[in-house]
Amino acid sequence: MIIYKGVKNKMEQENKMKTLKHIAERIYFHLTNSRKPLTIHTEGIFMDNVWENVKKKVLDGNVLTWYVMTPANYNYFKVFFNTKYSKKQLSKIMSKRYRWLLENKQHLELHIHFNKLMNITYQEQEKLIKESIEWFKKELGFKPKEFVSGWYAYNKETIKLLKKYNLKLIHQNKYKEKHDYNGVRK
């Protein structure tokens, strides 16, 4: 066992090892993550300043995959972004902007925030997933195949629902991820 200067007991030694392990894991994550394709979690696309940034990223050829939210997450948009748009207005804006992404050869998949996951029932999760899939079909003409949950928060019930709706869960370390509002949200 390695002994660190100034470490007096076994517990301090173990804590020091855990800290070093955590630092090594973070360095590894950042080194390997930089080689992965950039993927954007799309949440603020209805805001014009975010939309301008999104278009720039697409036209610069920086992104190909977007995990997009739908109006099914309307309560999230009201709380997190303080939107004054109605759900119908939000749907219209998102539909138009997501179709532009598709016309520009971008790949869109599903992103849902379950908010307080510990308090959300199977039925509430299913309602969000089902409504999102139906919105995709109606507004964009296809069913998503992949799913990323907001804050990577999901539970056993989520996994059951993803199987039921034939959605593949994409885990956090599979790609380099940013949000559409990074650097532009006011």
Q: Taking Cα atoms as reference points, which of 127, 112, 118 lies closest to residue 169?
A: 112
Sign (positive or negative) of CA dihedral 70, 75, 81, 85: positive
pLDDT score recorded for residue 186: 43
Mean pLDDT in consecutive groups of 10 residues from the start of the chain, 186 residues? 60 74 70 67 93 92 89 93 95 98 96 78 95 98 96 90 97 73 59
Amino acid letter at 24? Answer: A
**Count of CB atoms situated within 10 Å of the CB of 108:** 19
Query: What was the pLDDT predicted at 182?
Result: 77
What pLDDT sits at residue 25? 72
pLDDT at 95: 98
Please tell me whether residue 111 adopts helix, strand or coil conformation.
strand
- pTM for the model stands at 0.78
CB 181 within 8 A of CB 47: yes
Tokens of 122: 């199977």
Torsion-angle region of 105 (φ positive above 0: left; ψ -120 to 50: alpha; else: beta): left
- 105's enclosing H/E stretch is none
* CA 79/CA 74 separation, integer angstroms: 9
Stretch (H or E) spanning 94:
helix 87-103
Distance CA 112, CA 160 (A): 15
